[in-house]
Amino acid sequence: MDEERLLIAGIEDKREQCEERYMITNTAFLDVRQRSAAEIYIKKCGVKNGIFRGGHDGAERCVLIFLPEYLGLSDDLEEFFKEEPENDPLAVIRVTKAQKAGELTHRDYLGALMGLGIKRECIGDILVRPDGADIIVLREISEYIAMHFDKAGRISLNAEKIDISQVRTAEQKIREKSDTVASLRLDNVVSSAFNVPRTSAAAAIKAGLVFVNNIQIEKTDLQIKEGDFFSYRGKGKCRLAEIGGKSRKDRQYIKIHIYE
């Protein structure tokens, strides 16, 4: 609770700065749990000028940006950041391996960055490719990273700073699963998607490990709707892609997209 209070206090401070100084402000990167707390806060307080931004569709780590009145939450925001990238709180570090040999993972890149003294909250998603990665970071530290990020493990790297509009997203692999469930309760759907007993799914939900549409949910009987995204912390992310009819035993047909 202390950690959550500190998070909300920091968010309130950024909101006040935006309103008092008439400028764009932003938090550090939020993980899924922190984003859930932030979503609840802005809805509860009726905040109209807050937007979550992670640099690409489906980003797991996002910053919360507060916009002054002259911008608002318009569809032109992306265009505004393209025209004035210095106002975008996010940038991308594109790294390429200096040699073809050797494979680098998300953990390798993250460990090397933290070895430079970069805090985790300054780093967003790390989009790994065979030849390197696009790493979303706070713009304020992007120049430093581009200058000093030259090695991960034993593999030499070339790093350059680019605008967020040029980010390359890794190809998302999706596996489809068809199943039947007793009902569309969250614990049933999570059990099906992640191949765990319903009792284990229920325990995970009550422990705060399950999120629906980026909101932490602790109600096992929440009814999931077609199109809802849900994730199980440490296990992955899915979407309820389709709800079909009923079987002869009155079970519900569903199709789930599992992101790998």
Q: DSSP per residue over the chain, as a string? A: -HHHHHHHHHHHHHHHHHHHHTS-EE---B-HHHHHHHHHHHHHTT--SEEEE-SSTT-SSBEEEE--TTT-S-TTHHHHHHH-GGG-SEEEEEEEESSSSS---HHHHHHHHHHTT--GGGEEEEEEETTEEEEEEEHHHHHHHHHH--EETTEEEEEEEE-GGG--PPPPPEEEEEEEESSSBHHHHHHHHHT--HHHHHHHHHTT-EEETTEE---TTPBP-TT-EEEETTTEEEEEEEEEEE-TTSPEEEEEEEE-
For residues 69-73, give the mean pLDDT: 74
> What is the longest distance spanned by two Cα atoms in the chain?
64
The larger pLDDT score, comparing residue 72 to residue 141, is at: 141
What residues does CATH 3.30.70.330 cover in the chain? 90-166
Q: CATH top-level class for 2-84?
A: alpha beta
For residue range 2-55, what is the model confidence (pLDDT) as tens digits? 888 999 999 999 999 999 999 999 999 999 889 999 999 999 998 888 999 999
For residues 181-187, give the mean pLDDT: 96
In terms of DSSP bridges, do strands 132-138 and 90-97 run parallel, antiparallel, or are they unpaired?
antiparallel
Total length of the chain: 260
Q: Residue 107 above 80 pLDDT?
A: yes
Q: Which of 117-121, 153-157, 163-167 has the highest mean pLDDT?
A: 117-121
For residues 221-245, give the mean pLDDT: 94
What confidence score (pLDDT) does residue 74 get? 59
Q: Residue 249 above 70 pLDDT?
A: yes
Q: Cα angle vertex 130, ends 125, 132, to 5°?
A: 55
What confidence score (pLDDT) does residue 73 get? 63
What confidence score (pLDDT) does residue 70 get? 79
Q: Is the dihedral of CA 211, 33, 139, 96 positive or negative?
A: negative
In whole angstroms, give the CA distance from residue 32 to residue 37: 9
In whole angstroms, give the CA distance from residue 183 to residue 206: 19
Q: Residue 190 above 70 pLDDT?
A: yes
For residues 146-172, give the mean pLDDT: 89
pLDDT band at 141 (very low <50, low <70, confident <90, very high): very high
For residues 133-145, give the mean pLDDT: 96
Mean predicted lDDT score pLDDT of the chain: 92
| Residues 174-259, CATH architecture | Roll (3.10)
What confidence score (pLDDT) does residue 182 get? 95
What residues does CATH 3.30.1370 cover in the chain? 2-84
What residues does CATH 3.10.290.10 cover in the chain? 174-259
For residue range 201-215, what is the model confidence (pLDDT) as tens digits? 999 999 999 999 888
Q: Residue 173 above 70 pLDDT?
A: yes
What confidence score (pLDDT) does residue 214 get? 83
Contact of 217 with 225, CB cutoff 8 Å: no
Q: Residue 171 above 80 pLDDT?
A: no
Q: CATH top-level class for 90-166?
A: alpha beta
For 169, left (φ over 0), alpha (ψ -120 to 50), or beta? beta
Retrieve residue 250's tokens.
């009155």
Put simply, whether the predicted model's pTM sits higher than 0.75 gets the answer yes
